[in-house]
Structures are given as C-alpha cells and as structure tokens.
Amino acid sequence: FLYFPETHGISFRIQISVKELLDTDVVLKLLFHLPVNYPSALPDISVTSDQLTRAQCMDVKEKLFEQAKKHLSEPMVHDLILWVQQHLKDVIKQPPTVCNEKTTLSKGTEGGIWMLLLHLDHMRAKAKYVKTVEKWASDLRLTGRLMFVGKIILILLQGDRSSIKEYLILQKTSKVDVDSGGKKCKEKMMRVLCETEVQSQHKRFQTFEVKEYSTPQELQKEFETSGLTALFSEFMPSLLK
C-alpha cells in the first residue's frame, strides 16, 4: 500500500474482483485514505472500475459511505470490502457495460457537474501545497486550475458534487501549509467564493493545471475563454484592488 506522511494519514489502494451478472468479473479499484483520527473519523474512499460507468462508481462509493457511518469508531475497511463484494449486484442495478466517453458523460451529468471557486490568502510552503492540491484533484477526478496572479491564489474545480464536497473537507482538515514558525498547519484563510452547478455556457476543463499569470488581464482572459465572465466580474474586481 501507499503511505503519505505529509497528508497525515495512510492511503492505500485495494483491487478486488467481484463475480457479476452474466458471470463476468468486475474489477473494482478502491482507494482508502484513513485520517489520523480514524476510526473515529470516516475514511475517504474513491471507487474506479473499467467495467462500470462513472455514475455506477459514484453509486458504489455513496453506498460504501453509508456503510462506513454504521461502523464509525471501529476499524471498518475489511467490513466495507466484504460488503461491496456481497452487494455490488444490488448497487449497480444494471448489467455492466464497457463505457465509452459518451455513456460516461451522460451518466455523469445525471447528478450534474459542479464547480467550486476558492480564494487562498497565502501559501508559505508553496511547492508542497501545490503538490497536495494536484494529488487531491487527481484522486477525486476533479479538473480545473490552480491560479496565481500577483499575491492572489485561486482554485477553480469542476467535477461530481460529492467529490467537490470531499475536496473541501480535505482542504479544511489537512495540514497543507506551514505557519510563520515553520510548523505544519491547516488552511484557515480559505474563502469559498462560489459553489454552483456547471451551466451550458461554461467550458468543461479536461485536466487540472497549475497556472501563473503575470497580469490580472491574463487571468480575466482565462475566465472569459472558459465562459466564466460573470464569475470573474462578480468576485475578481474586489480581490484585484
């Protein structure tokens, strides 16, 4: 398994094979992140599978969270794995299809794609902080931008609503930066500027990128080409003063 001491907890991946409908095997990849105060805090779980659509993976994940809540304050990972092996059929109601991008998108948008815009006050340990944000975005399958212009730091994310919520929890509860004395500390100076469903005029970001802009005009252009002019004019003028 993988151990990330810098995120204060243990992360590990487990791959299981479940006999499914029509006797085909479904391979599930489960990523568990156990926070330091586990099991009195719930683990973060992400579910991926080549044989399931994104919506089905989200269903499995949500059901695992429901099960995890029943086991709060007792070690639960083993029970969760057993549970998913026994109940996968019931969770994904329909026979698995090898999903192409079209089915994934139509399934994924049933719950709508959400967008989050955050403003950070500063990053003292910038390289480590950036790496952590990139890792969270990747683990939660979020796309978007980490943007720097002058002293302004913005994080713009798009993805499933539950993944956006998970990201916010990680951002608030993990020790991502250092204080003036060099001690690891949580992010206390973060503001959620906007959390909303992605509209048809908004461009979907395909990747997560870190970008530095030399002028506010460059930043404005990025927002405009992404169909986010209204968002820029609502929040940025006060920040760029």
- Give the 3-state secondary structure of residue 190: strand
Q: Is residue 141 situated within a structural domain?
A: yes
Q: What is the pLDDT of residues 155-171, one digit of tens each?
A: 999 999 889 989 998 88
Whole-number mean pLDDT of the chain? 83
Give the integer Cα–Cα distance in Å for 33 and 39.
11
Together in a domain, 146 and 217:
yes
Length of the chain: 241
Please tell me the total count of domains within the chain.
2
User: Across-strand partners of 160?
Assistant: 113
Q: What is the per-residue pLDDT for 219?
A: 93
Mean pLDDT of 4-11: 63
Check whether residue 118 and residue 188 sit in a common domain: yes
Indicate if 179 and 222 belong to the same structural domain. Answer: yes
Residue type, 187: E
Q: How confident is the model at residue 224 (pLDDT cuts 50, 70, 90)?
A: very high
- Domain span at residue 69 reads 10-93
- Residue 5 is assigned to a structural domain of this protein: no
Helix axes 54-70, 101-108, angle to 10 degrees: 50
pLDDT tens digit string along 64-109? 999 999 999 998 999 999 999 888 888 876 544 443 333 333 333 3
Using the predicted structure, report yes or no on whether residue 50 has a pLDDT greater than 90.
Answer: no
Q: Assign residue 27 the CATH number of its domain.
A: 3.10.110.10
- Alpha-carbon distance 85 to 18, whole Å? 6
Residue 5 is predicted with a pLDDT of: 52
Q: Report CA dihedral (59, 41, 80, 109) to the nearest 10 degrees.
A: 10
229, part of any domain: yes
Rounded Cα–Cα distance for residues 142 and 157 (Å): 6
